């Protein structure tokens, strides 16, 4: 790479220095010179569509958009003049008159709207043009967000975010002139869309109330909310969250733009599922009396537990946790080891092998974007690790990286794959194709999940690595291991035994007391447990204590249920798949009588 040349030029009489090739807007922003924008958004390709950032260049009769015009050495840029002000004002008035911008009843409401803000800045009190009052539809068919075309200014930020950040390119612009409109797929609704991943990046990027989160609509401006930054615990990626709260309620959850992991992007799990979903929270301890779970005090519940625990020998007691705990809770559990015979961490099938050799790849997400071939084996990032899937999609679509997928289940990444096969169906013919596809590849990345840990999966993985290593002269490819559990690797590293088949684990010794830490897993982690026949084993145990935040079939089977904290109430750290220690900050105080995991475990086993 050649060293970039420095250039200097004037903006509003101020001498500015910048790298050659920077746009006028970038330099102006870096020098704290305000230029109004609507369609410009950091991190997206400049579009030059809204014409608010127009500037004058001394000596030139033309006005140019600052966001797309590179700065030229020696020029004198004017960003504020009566001519520019009047042009910007006229542009804004045309935007206001074109669609139905009815601020008092906008779902976005007060303070967050870019169009409204620019109207204020430019002193617009009324519109000189007749209003068009077009009849435009509202699409609220998506589960978590809606699109109201009445508010749209066609800035194209959603289109670019969908294409460049999520890589889905669900949104685009159709028709010409006054009929211009943002559409979903082939002019369908969000519900009909086959490509929308519901990541909500379009909503975050929308400067008006066009795209809005249903759960946040009409709940006041985000500008007036408190913001807390914490970490998502839904998968091992560990995305930074920016949580907006008001009066001890979550108003919205966006990605933390300063997080080195996700850089502001989220998937549907972190963005919506954790808070916009109706889930029945357990608020008080519950104790089974006369066959039914009934509300009880902590003292009562703990008494019941202690009595049952006393009746059981040490060898008859076990603790089963889900891999969603913080590192600190793991330490507490290790400290309690003397009081319980068996402590197990319930992981997905084949995941124990991943946990046995924790394989953190530093800066995996950044390195992945430089890869020229991505191989996914035994993992399903588009379902389980949405932000990683977005990176894979953009790398494949924008940078032309090759994509090879070896997985039994179909995913929405398949459409971009050069080779797509089931691990077990790999034959010599296919291997030839794989080798041909990988020929000449210089920076390959292998993303493997727990399903790659089956005997055949391991063979395939080894074979692939061998091909890649011979391709690039013995150099190992970038290996990215993914677990299903959010914090499995670190918890296993702390000394928790990874248990895949819980049934046999429970049956190994006669059991009288079982404590399950389900935490804030939506179904109590039951889906995985059901596969292993756990529910069937539970009625045989005298006392089953479930520590969970949400009601589920698992809590229905318990003798005592203890209310646990959820993601936004936890503190501590988790370790993501890159080996980063990420901090959890409590966003809200503990709801009801819920307590943090470690505190509950201490009071149960102390």
Which residues of this chain interact with another protein, rule CB under 8 A? 96, 100, 102-106, 109-110, 116, 119-121, 123-128, 130-131, 133-136
Supply 513's token pair: 């007391």
Between CA 374 and CA 405 the distance in angstroms is 8
User: Sign of the C-alpha dihedral, residues 334, 335, 337, 343?
Assistant: negative
Which C-beta is closer to another protein: that of 95 or that of 460?
Answer: 95
Of the candidates 170, 156, 187, the residue with the CA atom closest to the CA atom of residue 39: 156
Nearest residue (CB) to another protein, 92 versus 404: 92
Nearer to another protein, 96 or 416 (CB): 96
Least distance (Å) from another protein to the CB of residue 102? 6
Shortest distance in whole angstroms from residue 89 CB to another protein = 12
Residue 367 to residue 445: CA distance in whole angstroms: 9
Q: Which of 296, 238, 229, 297 is nearest to 581 (CA)?
A: 238
Query: Least Å distance between CB 17 and another protein?
Result: 31
Q: For residue 51, give both structure tokens.
A: 């014409």
Classify residue 196 by its DSSP letter: -
Closer residue to another protein in complex, CB, 130/338: 130
- Residue 54 beta carbon to another protein: minimum distance, rounded to whole angstroms: 20
Q: Which is nearer to another protein, 129 or 339 (CB)?
A: 129
Least distance from another protein to the Cβ atom of residue 216, Å: 17
Minimum CB distance to another protein smaller for 131 or for 432 = 131
- Nearest residue (CB) to another protein, 220 versus 586: 220
Helix (H) or strand (E) holding 469, with range, is helix 455-471
CB of 436 to another protein, least distance (A): 57
What are 432-439's contacts with CB under 8 Å, separation 24+?
434/404, 434/464, 434/467, 435/467, 437/373, 437/402, 437/404, 438/373, 438/402, 438/404, 438/467, 438/468, 438/471, 439/471
CB of 5 to another protein, least distance (A): 39
Contact 381, 351 (CB under 8 A): no
**Element (DSSP H or E) covering residue 458:** helix 455-471
- Nearest distance from residue 85's CB to another protein, in Å? 13
Rounded distance, CA 291 to CA 324, Å?
Answer: 30
Distance separating alpha carbons of residues 58 and 63, to the nearest angstrom:
10
Of the pair 123, 474, the CB lying nearest another protein is at 123
Q: Quick one: tokens of 82?
A: 């009566």
Q: Do residues 89 and 23 lie in contact, with contact meaning Cβ atoms separated by under 8 Å?
A: no
Q: Which among 459, 483, 455, 478 is positioned nearest to 468, based on CA atoms?
A: 478
> What is the nearest approach in angstroms of another protein to the Cβ of residue 31?
22
CB contact set of 517 (below 8 Å; sequence gap of 6+): 319, 320, 321, 322, 325, 547, 564, 597, 601
Query: In terms of C-beta density within 10 A (0-12 exposed, 13-18 middle, 19 or more buried), how is residue 588 classed?
Result: middle
Write the CB contacts of 288 (distance below 8 Å, at least 6 apart in sequence).
294, 558, 559, 560
The dihedrals phi and psi of 59, each to the nearest 5 degrees, come to: 90, -5
Considering beta carbons, is residue 208 or 483 the nearer one to another protein?
A: 208
Unique residue bearing structure tokens 């809590």:
555
Which residue, 125 or 427, has its beta carbon nearer to another protein? 125
Least distance CB 221 / another protein (angstroms): 10
H/E segment holding residue 201: helix 201-205
Question: Which is closer to another protein, CB of 70 or CB of 111?
Answer: 111
Pick the closer one to another protein by CB: 123 or 589.
123
**DSSP code of residue 68:** T
Nearer to another protein, 57 or 127 (CB): 127
Q: Least distance in Å: CB of 151 to another protein?
A: 13
Residue 222 or residue 438: which is nearer to another protein going by CB? 222
Determine whether 320 is exposed, middle or buried from the number of CB atoms within 10 Å of its CB (0-12, 13-18, 19+).
buried
Three-point CA angle 540, 543, 545, nearest 5°: 120
């Amino acid at each position: 790479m050649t060293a970039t040349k420095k250039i200097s030029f004037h903006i509003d009489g101020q001498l500015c220095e910048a790298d050659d090739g920077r746009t006028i807007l970038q330099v102006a922003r870096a020098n704290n010179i305000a230029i109004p924008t609507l369609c410009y958004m950091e991190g997206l390709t400049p579009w030059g569509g809204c014409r608010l950032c127009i500037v004058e260049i001394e000596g030139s009769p033309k006005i140019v958009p600052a966001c797309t015009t590179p700065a030229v050495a020696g020029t004198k840029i004017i960003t504020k003049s009566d001519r520019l002000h009047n042009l910007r004002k006229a542009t804004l008035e045309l935007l206001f008159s074109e669609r139905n911008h009815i601020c008092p009843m906008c779902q976005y409401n007060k303070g967050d709207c870019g169009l409204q803000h620019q109207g204020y800045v430019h002193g617009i009190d009324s519109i000189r043009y007749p209003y068009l009052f077009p009849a435009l539809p509202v699409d609220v068919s998506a589960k978590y967000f809606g699109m109201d075309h009445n508010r749209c200014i066609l800035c194209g930020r959603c289109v670019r975010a969908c294409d460049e950040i999520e890589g889905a390119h669900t949104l685009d612009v159709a028709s010409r002139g006054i009929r211009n409109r943002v559409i979903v797929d082939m002019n369908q609704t969000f519900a009909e869309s086959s490509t929308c991943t519901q990541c909500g990046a379009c909503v975050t990027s929308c400067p008006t109330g066009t795209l809005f989160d249903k759960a946040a609509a009409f709940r006041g401006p985000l500008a007036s909310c408190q913001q807390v930054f914490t970490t998502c615990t839904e998968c091992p990626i560990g995305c930074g969250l920016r949580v907006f709260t008001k009066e001890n309620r979550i108003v919205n959850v966006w990605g933390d733009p300063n997080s080195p992991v996700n850089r502001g992007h989220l998937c549907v799990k972190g963005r919506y599922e954790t808070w916009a979903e109706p889930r029945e929270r357990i608020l008080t301890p519950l104790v089974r009396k006369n066959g039914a779970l009934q509300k009880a005090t902590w003292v009562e519940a703990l008494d019941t537990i202690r009595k049952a625990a006393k009746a059981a020998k040490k060898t008859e007691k076990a603790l089963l946790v889900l891999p969603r705990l913080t590192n600190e809770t793991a330490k507490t559990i290790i400290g309690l080891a003397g009081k319980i015979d068996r402590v197990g961490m319930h992981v997905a099938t084949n995941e124990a092998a991943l946990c046995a050799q924790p394989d953190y790849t530093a800066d995996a997400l950044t390195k992945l974007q430089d890869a020229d071939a991505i191989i996914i084996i035994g993992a399903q990032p588009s379902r389980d690790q949405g932000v990683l899937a977005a990176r894979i999609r953009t790398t494949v679509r924008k940078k032309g990286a090759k994509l090879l997928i070896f997985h039994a289940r179909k995913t929405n990444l398949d459409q971009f794959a050069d080779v797509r096969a089931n691990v077990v169906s790999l034959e010599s013919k296919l291997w030839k194709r794989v080798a041909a596809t990988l020929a000449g590849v210089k920076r390959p990345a292998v993303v493997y999940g727990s399903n790659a840990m089956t005997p055949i999966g391991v063979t395939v993985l080894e074979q692939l690595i061998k091909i890649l290593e011979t391709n690039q002269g013995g150099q190992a490819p970038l290996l990215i291991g993914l677990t299903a559990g959010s914090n499995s690797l670190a918890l296993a590293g702390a000394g928790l035994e990874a248990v895949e088949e819980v049934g046999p684990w429970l049956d190994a010794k006669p059991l009288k007391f079982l404590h399950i830490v389900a935490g804030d897993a939506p179904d109590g982690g039951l889906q995985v447990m059901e596969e292993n026949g756990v529910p069937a084993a539970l009625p045989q145990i005298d006392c089953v204590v479930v520590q969970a935040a949400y009601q589920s079939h698992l809590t229905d089977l318990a003798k005592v249920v203890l209310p646990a904290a959820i993601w936004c109430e936890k503190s501590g750290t988790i370790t993501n798949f890159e080996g980063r220690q990420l901090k959890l900050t409590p966003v809200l105080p503990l709801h009801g009588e819920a307590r943090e995991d470690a505190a509950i475990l201490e009071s149960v086993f102390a």
